[in-house]
Amino acid sequence: MNYETIIYSVENGVAEIRFNRPHRLNAVVTEFYAEVVDALNQAENDVDVRTIVLTGEGRAFCVGADLKEHKKGERTELEKLEYLNLANDVCQRIYEHPKVVIAAVNGFALGAGFEMSVSADFILMKDTAQIGSPETSIGTFVGGAVTETLPRIVGLSKARELIFTGRRIDGVEAHSIGLATRVFPEEEFATGVKEFAEVIGSKAPFSMRFAKQHLNDMHQDYKSRLATEVASLRTCMLTKDWQEGVDAFAEKRKPVFKGC
């Protein structure tokens, strides 16, 4: 379908959702959130899509809420609530999506941009890109379950620093604290993201889905985790991909997984 605020494309098993409001540094409005959710649903239903990349058009990933729209003060209380719920829906959809989601942070990732990035499975950044959560500096608050996910990624002390101070950090520092998985100079960014996404996409889909579910679920105890891992392994063993993996190993070739 045609979108107004994003560009959706699929190539080599990678679905790219490109935020497309460069005139506003990809600041979010209600329509933006609704279209991102729709694109994520489309990617889930496409059997050819193995990984999803979120990125931004222009010099920003996403700078957060469109404060120009907020300042108009034209929305009803119900519309404001709808906007906030959509913001959470996007982050939850990213976090719980059955396919791996990569935030390719090409420029400023602030506020909502930060929240979507932290909700993704991986953050890849340009070395000059900046990421941060400025909410405490403008009298608002974080969303998207950042207070749950961020401490798990960088530790509680560093999460406190980033949220309390609202400080922006570049790709190099983000990588040094474990927030960014990879950091690239500008001229290598597009190729680096593409190669990383395709490597992830080459793995067995059932295996990847179970891995994401288990790594994201921190509320099971040890014995429960043993049981769910066995159940997931047993499911994998019932797939054609499991046999393909066994055959490829024996034949010393690269496996070709079909997701079945």
The residues annotated with a catalytic role in the active site are: 115, 135
Mind giving me the DSSP string for the chain? ---SSEEEEEETTEEEEEE--GGGTT-B-HHHHHHHHHHHHHHHH-TT--EEEEEESTTEEE-SB-HHHHHH----HHHHHHHHHHHHHHHHHHHH-SSEEEEEE-SEEETHHHHHHHHSSEEEEETT-EEE--GGGTT----TTHHHHHHHHH-HHHHHHHHHH---EEHHHHHHTTS-SEEE-HHHHHHHHHHHHHHHHTS-HHHHHHHHHHHH-----HHHHHHHHHHHHHHHHTSHHHHHHHHHHHTTS-------
